[in-house]
Homo-oligomer: A and B are copies of this chain.
Amino acid sequence: MSIMDLEAILHPRSVAVVGASTNTASWGYSYIHHLIEYGFRGNIYPVHPNYTEVLGIKAYPSIRSIPDTVDFVISCVNAREVPQMVRECGEKGVKGIHLYTARFSETGHKDAADMEQEILRLARSKGIRIIGPNCMGVYHPKVGLSFGYNLPKEPGFLGMSSQTGGGASGFVLLAGLRGVRFSKVISYGNALDFNECDYLDYFVQDDETKVIVQYIEGVKDGRRYFETLKRATAVKPVIVIKGGRGKSGARMTSSHTASLAGSFSAWEAAIKQAGAVSARDFDELIDLAVSFYFLPPLRGNRVGVFAGGGGPSVIAAESCEEAGLEVIPLPQDMRDEMKARGVSIWDWVGNPVDSSIIGGSGMTDMDMMHLMAKHPDFDLLIATINDWVMMTLSTDERFRLSVPAGAQAYLSVKERYTKPFLVAVGERGVTAEQYDDFHWKALAEARSILLKGGLPIYPTIERAARAARKVIDYYKKL
């Protein structure tokens, strides 16, 4: 029932933005901007008593005065104006309201919390469902709903519900840079009506969603949540990030979304017990999203590592081991094959592969990678575009040619074998003076090649390894 309500709200034929504004710094402006920018094809109704139009669209003084049905309302008015607005929505047959409006229970003030409850009662009496309050609402690129600038316009299959708004939009942006695209993302703040269980149930049955992410600060009903989660993880991977696990976080979540945080260790044990995947911070959340989005199921932990030269290979391989992967020695039959081919270093080269000793051996790095990709002893491969070393050891001209060529060569490994393959491409923070240097542009080009080919990319081998381990654990538990 809940789920059907949510499905209807997510596919509105018309949207009114109450508290619409021509002030570009306001949310009453942004939501209308986004409806236009992301291509919403239904009717858009800006609502404000003082404007006749906003962003070129005719405005109305009130919900009541709109000469048409309204399915979905985005509220940017002050808290005290919400009850009257809900009444008008009731008259108009509105199905759902997203309350961007804040300053309710999260303030810790009793009168604000009481008003929040009053709004819920009012909405229920009119058959209206609520997303929020104190949240950014819906990013649903397929129908043209968005809560942020600069987010991907193409849809994909990751669904997310989130008690943080800024974190949700930031996550969409950053996971988007790494190729992830989204079915629906819902920021729901104080969870007055729909809560974490409703959103989870929705994403489980949603055919457009294959991977689920939840940012949670507190759950309303722990037992129900973990039962819902257990059912969900049997169907689709669910990645959970928990705010409010420490002292400062517990103080803060109450003022952020009025959530009561529990003990983190108990929480994390329960999350794992339910088969979900736990992320510690947003970097790890992005790595996990990328992994579940792009990788086939990982069935084992024996990894082949290509990290460039000696020292970086040593450190990267050891980080893989510390993440719980097994950096196995080269299988004897691979050595035999190299020996038969006349490769001089057949008894010296190992796993991790030190590419600095391969030159002149009668074999290239890529020959080695193909041998490992087809060998059944390796469950997965992790390789890097070793820009930080190459940039210092190659002439500029060699770098310019070899970086995109390297990306292309990695793609051919993906296309030729079924071996799960993770690629590390460093994220480099450069200064204004260095921004136009061709090296960084060549790396951007390599990233484009890898992403277009559907390869998951990570900033470092270490992070790829830690994510891979959690993916392996998920499939092992299934």
Contact = CB atoms under 8 A, between A and B. Distances in A.
B311 A215 contact: yes
How many copies of this chain sit in the oligomeric assembly?
2
A389 B282 CA distance: 12
Interface in A11-26: 24-25
A194 B364 CA distance: 33
Given A444-B434, A448-B433, A310 B148 contact: no
A144 to B, nearest CB: 16
A245 B318 CA distance: 7
Contacts of A462: 281, 283
A165 interface: yes
A312 interface: yes
Interface in A154-188: 162-170, 172-174, 177-178
Contacts of A166: 308-312, 356, 386, 389, 392-393
Given A433-B448, A441-B435, A310 B252 contact: yes
A432 B460 contact: no
A332 interface: no
Interface string A424-442: 0111111111110001110
B315 A281 contact: yes
A249 interface: yes
A322 to B, nearest CB: 7
A451 B431 CA distance: 9
A429 B425 contact: yes
A151 interface: yes
Interface stretch (A49-57, A85-93, A346-354): A346-354
Contacts of A149: 391-396
B217 A314 contact: yes
Interface of A: 24-25, 30, 107-108, 147-151, 162-170, 172-174, 177-178, 215, 217, 241, 243-249, 251-253, 255-257, 280-283, 305, 308-322, 327, 329, 348-352, 354, 356-357, 386, 388-389, 391-398, 425-435, 439-441, 443-445, 447-448, 451, 457, 459-460, 462
